[in-house]
Amino acid sequence: MIYAAPGTEGAKVTFKPRYENFIGGDWVAPVNGRYFANHSPVDGSKICDVPRSDEADINLALDAAHKAAISWGKTSVTERANLLLKIADRIDANTEMLAIAETWDNGKPVRETLAADIPLSADHFRYFAGCIRAQEGTMAELDSDTVAYHVYEPLGVVFLGVEKGERRPSFSGNIRSPEDFVRFMNWTFRNGVDEDGSIYAAYGAIMDTYY
């Protein structure tokens, strides 16, 4: 199937002219006020402007993440799993929109984003929703007087710098830093899919360039 270019008649995707960083549950302009143009590898056209973030934005995101970690850490495993399952359902409900956005974002054929990338994203959320429900500690008797036990605990706030490569909606870390020339799917996902911001209490995203 041939899809209309974003923002044109009949298009299933329309990008905003400008996107901000997502910090502390809100869209936040970069501290330095600087932006750069994000172009599509499909035809070289400009998709939008995104923040050229720096250390000040990272510090804001870290502060927000540390604050959110307190309440997020108190949520039950069941609640967390259900939130991940809800995200997977939202991805499935918006597969076509996300696939087209991904294609214009990184140039990958739409047949691949429709049949593989986006469906796999949903599957990954469901997989990890199951993993956290099944995770257990271990205990072993070493001798008559000694017992060894292992308890798995979260690391806490994590910064994830995304390498150039495939991009998918992902919640692998508390703070996500996409690099130049696309890392844009998180913004499309956040704008077009979310109806319940609870998961984003523990998630932030900032834009910057890496060469």
pLDDT-derived band at 1, boundaries 50, 70, 90 = confident
Does residue 175 have a pLDDT over 50?
Answer: no
pLDDT at 171: 37
Q: 86 vs 45, 114, 123, 180, 199, CA distance in Å? A: 34, 20, 12, 30, 10
Is residue 211 domain-resident? no
Tell which residue, 79, 101, 102, has the closest CA to residue 199.
Answer: 79
**Cα separation, 40 vs 150, whole angstroms:** 48
Does residue 185 have a pLDDT over 80?
Answer: no
More confident of the two residues 196 and 144 = 144
Is residue 2 domain-resident? no
Average pLDDT over residues 12-18: 90
pLDDT-derived band at 210, boundaries 50, 70, 90 = very low
Range of the domain at 55: 21-205
Average pLDDT over residues 150-175: 61
Q: What are phi and psi of 81, to 5 degrees?
A: -60, -40
Is residue 48 domain-resident? yes
Is residue 33 domain-resident? yes
pLDDT-derived band at 206, boundaries 50, 70, 90 = low
Average pLDDT over residues 129-135: 92
pLDDT-derived band at 173, boundaries 50, 70, 90 = very low
pLDDT at 190: 52
How many domains does the chain contain in total? Answer: 1
Is residue 16 domain-resident? no
Q: Kindly report the average pLDDT of the chain as a whole number.
A: 80
3-state SS class at 182: coil
For 150: left if phi > 0, alpha if psi spans -120 to 50, otherwise beta; the answer is beta
Is residue 143 domain-resident? yes
More confident of the two residues 162 and 138 = 138
pTM of the predicted protein model: 0.76
| CATH code for the domain in which residue 157 is found | 3.40.605.10
Is residue 27 domain-resident? yes
Is residue 12 domain-resident? no
